[in-house]
Amino acid sequence: MDPLSALRDFTTRGELDKIVRVGDEFRFGNDYAFPCTAETAYRSKQGNLYTLETLVYYVKNHHIKHTEYLQNSRTQKIPAVTLPDRKPLLEYLQGKVSSNDAIEFVVLQNPKISDALSIDVEEYRPEDPGLVGNRAPAEEEEDEKSRVRVPEKVDYISMINALERPLKDREMLLECRHRDFYSVLVASTRREEERQRMESQQRKDGLVAKSRLMGADERGLGFWKDGEELGFDGTPKPKMHLKGSKIGEGVPIIMVPSAFQTLITIYNVKEFLEDGVFIPTDVKVKQMKGAKPDCVTVQKKFSRDRVVTAYEVRDKPSTLKAEDWDRVVAVFVLGKEWQFKDWPFKDHVEIFNKIIGFFMRFEDDSVESAKIVKQWNVKIISISKNKRHQDRAAALEVWDRLEAFVRSRSHT
């Protein structure tokens, strides 16, 4: 019996434990013994015949992952079974299939058997009529039946190679033959032109907002932009302060909490309102270079309006003068009573009648976090902790409600 058939026989019977390696050979119980490096009749898809050592190690370790199997094979210096051969080889060895195209049984030449057969055997010459005439017809028929026909060796590898279609390697793929990327170039160029047009539009909007701010400065109103004072005319000029519900003359003010417990602070309000992206305060503090700004100017950049209103954002109520409070139009609330300690209003009802309030929270926060805020006349805006693409919708909601509130106060 050949090594592959013996291994299949022991595998199907569940007697792999009886296959023991002794020195340089495998002993199949007391039945067979083969050299470890003996080639079997199973040919891999790479063209080589698997050795008995390779097949024995694989069939005993087929249950582990292929990567771990390869690593263990390298460690023990045993040639491994390739990944494409694993399944068909295992099905054959376990008896699930009776044959396989990769199996090529050959006639093993054993010198000892050949020598034994050559003893006392006369040379057979078919042309010798004496020998043919002496054989009985029954003997010739029996000899014909017992004759073993060895099929011609078929070169399966050449047959497979003739049917294969050559695949491209990495370098040939990069050449991109018969490919036209002109449409990709046009799309990218169009996108770049659109980006430049948007930047140009934003610069125009900035100039309009700046002219409005400079107009306010010429009337004697000092204001801040990104922590830098743009100018203040100390010459006393007549100012108009509307004590009713109208907005005071100058740049509108948005108040934010100075505490880090809230989502929107003076550190990240610009990115949220202008770019529609929420960045945690602690991240912005690490990115910031220089001291904390006293005032930040924000504009509604993602708007189709030709004229964009600028807003000042502050977080220190104690620094506001009496006339500055007429310009406060909005506040991001923390949900704590002490936030309104230095505010010149008697209660929350008066505050949120003259100022629109916003409370920012994560959508999966507990209801208790907004328990106090629900008693106030403020708008609760929810954002996701991880889905940053949803921040733009939240920022637009803030802008829409703020602009509607400002219009209503302006017409009062």
Nearest Cα neighbor of 256 from 246, 265, 248 is: 265
pLDDT at 201: 72
> Is 285 among the domain residues?
yes
Q: Note whether residue 378 is domain-resident.
A: yes
Mark which of 94, 117, 132 sits at the end of a domain: 94
Q: Is the residue at 107 inside a domain?
A: no
Which of 94, 126, 151 is a domain's end point?
94
pLDDT in tens, the chain (412 residues): 788 889 998 999 888 888 999 988 999 988 889 999 999 989 998 888 999 999 999 999 999 999 999 999 899 889 999 999 999 989 998 888 888 888 886 554 444 444 444 444 444 444 545 544 555 566 666 665 555 555 667 788 888 878 877 676 677 767 766 777 778 888 888 888 888 887 777 666 666 555 555 554 454 444 444 444 444 444 443 333 333 445 667 788 999 988 888 899 999 899 999 888 999 988 888 888 878 888 889 988 766 665 567 899 998 888 888 888 888 999 998 888 888 887 888 888 888 888 999 998 888 887 677 778 888 888 988 899 888 888 899 999 999 999 889 888 776 5
- Residue ending a domain, choose from 94, 119, 137: 94
Which structural domain, as residue segments, surrounds residue 35?
3-94
Cut 0.75: pTM above it? no
**DSSP string for 57-99:** HHHHSTTS-HHHHHHHHHHHT-PPPPHHHHHHHHHHHTTSSS-
Total number of domains in the chain: 2
Q: Do the domain assignments include residue 211?
A: no
Strands 310-314 and 253-255: parallel
For residues 278 and 262, the answer to whether their CB atoms sit within 8 Å is no
What is the pLDDT, as a whole number, of residue 231?
Answer: 43
d(CA 17, CA 8): 13
Q: Is residue 159 part of a domain?
A: no
In a domain, 69, yes or no: yes
CATH for 376:
3.40.50.11990
Is 234 a domain residue?
Answer: no
- Token pair 């054959």: residue: 92
HSE at residue 223, side-chain half, CA atoms within 13 A, is 27
Judge whether 388 lies within some domain. Answer: yes
